[in-house]
Structure 1
Amino acid sequence: MTTPATTDGLILLIGSGGRDYREYLLAGAAARRPLWLLDAAEPTWQRPHLAGATVVPLLDPERLVPDVEGLVKAAAAVAADHPVAGVFSYDETLVTATAEVAAALGLPGLGVEGADNCRDKHRTRRLLTEAGLLQPRFAHVGTLAEAQAAAGEFGYPVVLKPRGMGASIGVVRATGAAELAAAFAVAEGAGQGGNPAYRGGVLVEEFLDGPEISIDGAVHQGRYTPFFLAHKQVGAAPYFEETGHTVSADEPLLADPELTGMLAAAHRALGLRDGITHTEVKLTARGPAIVEVNGRLGGDLIPYLGKLATGLDPARIAVDVAAGREPELAHRSTATVGIRFAYPPQDGVVREVLLPVAGQLPGLRAAAAIAGPGTLLRLPPRGYIARHAYVIAEAADRAGCLAALDAAEGAVGLRLDPAEPQE
């Protein structure tokens, strides 16, 4: 394991996630400080990056919510034998539990209330609206009749979403009254699969028109600073599947005072103290408006794109703020890097994924299969994130990067057997 640059206390990581999407973060964190993992299974691929590990259930088996009591007890046991400088997680379902552990150990963190303000999308909307920030009109409804009343008041199209899910799961647009019942059923059904604390009811929101971006930023002692900005591509309408992202080191929006001022005000309104956030924003004709604030690094390998584009290591930043230190955020390189996810044309079982080879196409840096042979892929609303491959490309600017991604995605092949219809 690489000798950490800082050794005055280790960092607790709660949950490690999947290797394909998260190992680069473990490696980066371990290069900064010794890393101790709290996870539900003995480490395997994680082991080279760890100073130690504790096997502990992440979820209460009966209620299927984070086992805060067990995690606090396990963290305290580590702290009794080793100096602990901080705690963090990049798992959306563990954000509030991580804040609870930090608070119990007297360590820096987002704050329990701040983390919950991010997890509960209804609370996020309410707090940001009360702070005077541009938000869509919204209503938290429990029945289809209430959804119909809210949509009638706002005007179509509207967006319906669960209160506490991530990755755009269960988020759907209804362009007219005839589509509302089906959209309500999708959002309500998806919400039943998440944390019970955020179940119950659906958010109905005024549709925000305009391009969507996401911003990874650091909060240190309540002061927010953005460090990566990604332009998002979505597909599978009327759903909002995230099909790609591009990150530019010289992104002009990172210096836009309207956007950065709004982001700083939003983080103050949510009461966030020390940690990392991933904020999704629509750039509307009325100004930037927040879609949601997540109390962790972005998914979809966005932090990895940012690392390639700017030279900043997102894991190092996360470790620094978890330990209460002000992070270094100056970009060290200049490039535009993007990712594109390949989705099947229909529901099916994967037989084979064929990939282009890096170096054979202009700008192509990497291509990887996500779904192996035998994997069942179902498109929304029957399933979500039904990806079989991704490609990563680099260019001098965003237009060139998008062109390289188009060519690379077009070179991905898929052999798919049609899936049996769901009952």
Structure 2
Amino acid sequence: MSTPRTALLVIGSGLKLYRDYLLSSAAARARKAGHELILINNLQPTWQHEYFAEITVINVFDHELLASTAREFAQRYRIVGVMCWDEPLVQPAAHLAAEFGVPGLSLPGVEGCRDKFSARTRLTAAGLLQPGFAFTADPAEAVAEATRIGYPVVVKPRALGASMGVVLARDEEELREAFRVADGASQIGDEPFRGGALVEEYATGPEISIDGAVHKGEYLPLFIARKTTGLPPYFEETGHVVDSADPLLEDQDLLNTLSRAHQVLGIESGITHSEVRLTERGPLIIEINGRVGGDLIPFLGRLATGIDSGEVLVDVSLGERPEFTRNRLGAVGIRFGYPDRDCLVRSVEVPTDTPGLVQASPMVEPGTTLRLPPGGYIARHSFVIVRGDDPEAVEQRLTEAAAAVVVIAEDVEPKDRNALLEMPAGVLDVDE
């Protein structure tokens, strides 16, 4: 009887624009270790073929079907690791890792990553700095809890990502509308987390994100991104800057808080993307996501520090402690282009030669309708990436590059406020 081939199972590839660089590194790392990559994907593959030995296409959001398909793979391959960087799929991926007996976030760990109420409860009980919070089932309960916590408050779905449905409310009138938006947005998420909304104390201070590796519970920070948000009272992420010399990489209060939080949530192995507010009281963890960062943050991190998240992810998925060197390569940033109002995009032209330009790309095809919150989220028509010696130089270059983007679009009527939220353009992978 022949020995089955060994493979790392990948759940969802993501968009080529966002994840090709990650898969390229991961595939090379896996093959160097003598393993194949195999993929369960939602749509028919195109660009993914060069990276995978085998690809099966199913409805990955049917978790029972996903599990049975993974078990069929396990009859033909010896599964040595499970990898996932798609937010809606990290929970079933963690369950499969546990079933196959390979390294993963752990079941308590992935619950802390996906369920914001569970994370808040556990981190607060452990004595970590957290905002006042409550999970509310209806507007009346939300009003009562917001009055107890004190305005302003942030209202959010229990388990969505990308700041979808997250709203700042400064009084009761805004609170009722914010609850409607958050509750409605939750309906596109996993069924156990649909309905209701978290009401939280609004924490002030700069917001950052940290991508870190976790090996058998040991937290290893990789790089830090300084975040820019816009479109208030919503929290759309409009840009990020990664600096290889960021002083926060040496901030022991921050690093100890992150390490302790991962231990409290029981996160065992993988890469996490933590979002933190730097408040006057100290670092306050907003959430910990059980995946690499979105918005091309790992790509920025590689350009700025030399750390390759694709390689690190393979290492921790195989149960190996990753070895990496953080080089001083300067600062790299990304800025996303948003329309001023809901529109139908006719064309997007991006710059090809501005100072420090690394990459610029349209993010939508002609004919795409972009809707701003609350009718839609992540309504991005383009991005630009630049590099520079320091964050100040990068911000200036981002402004110049973003100003060179030319968009031709037509206004469209606002969406009916009671219409069910649709997934934003560009979030799910599409056929090329």
TM-score (norm 1): 0.94
1:349 aligns with 2:344: yes
Asked whether the 8 Å contact 2:375–2:414 carries over to 1, the reply is no
Name the Cα RMSD after superposition: 1.3
Q: Secondary structure at the match of 1:191?
A: helix
Amino acid at match of 2:311: R
2: CA distance between counterparts of 1:72 and 1:190? 26
Identify the residue that residue 24 of structure 2 maps to in structure 1: 27
Deviation, structure 1 residue 333: 4.5
Structure 1 SS opposite 2:255: helix
| 1:396 and 2:389 aligned | yes
1:319-358 aligned within 5 A: 319-357=314-352
SS of 2:314 mapped into structure 1: helix
Q: What residue ranges of structure 2 are gaps of 5+ in the alignment?
A: 31-35, 417-432
Amino acid at match of 2:160: M
**Structure 1: how far apart are the matches of 2:68 and 2:99?**
9
**Runs of 4+ with >2 A deviation:** 40-43, 54-57, 69-84, 420-423
Q: Which residue in the other structure is 1:18 paired with?
A: 15
**Other-structure match for 2:169:** 174
**2:366 matches 1:368:** no
Q: How does 1:291-310 map to 2 (within 5 A)?
A: 291-310=286-305
Does the 8 A contact of 1:212 with 1:283 survive in 2? Answer: yes
Paired position in structure 2 for 1:40: 42
The residue aligned with 2:155 is 160
Which residue in the other structure is 2:227 paired with?
Answer: 232
Count of aligned pairs:
407
Conservation of the 8 A alpha-carbon contact between 1:72 and 1:104:
no
Equivalent residue runs for 1:1-400 within 5 Å = 9-33=6-30, 34-60=36-62, 67=63, 69-357=64-352, 360-400=353-393
Distance 1:214 1:177 in 2: 31
Distance 2:76 2:344 in 1: 49
Counterpart amino acid of residue 18 in structure 2: Y
Amino acid at match of 1:97: P
CA 1:375–1:174: 2 relative to 1, 3 Å: same
- Identity among equivalent positions (%) equals 50
Deviation at 1:70, TM superposition (A): 2.8
- How far apart in 1 are the matches of 2:154 and 2:71? 43
| Segment drifting more, 384-393 vs 177-186 | 177-186
Partners of 1:384 and 1:43 in 2: CA distance: 26
CA distance in 2, matches of 1:183, 1:275: 34
TM-score under structure 2 length normalisation: 0.92
The question of whether the paired residues in 2 share the 8 Å contact of 1:161 and 1:203 is answered with yes
SS at 1:192 equivalent? helix
Q: Runs of 5+ in structure 1 lacking a partner?
A: 1-7, 61-66
Contact 2:186–2:194 (CA<8 Å) still a contact in 1?
Answer: yes
Distance in 2 separating the partners of 1:87 and 1:333:
32
Task: Give CA deviations for 1:321-363 in whole Å, capped at 9, x if unaligned.
Answer: 0111101132144221000000001111001112111xx2211
> Which amino acid counterpart does residue 392 of structure 2 have in structure 1?
A
**1:237 counterpart SS class:** coil
Amino acid at match of 1:25: L
Distance 1:414 1:74 in 2: 43
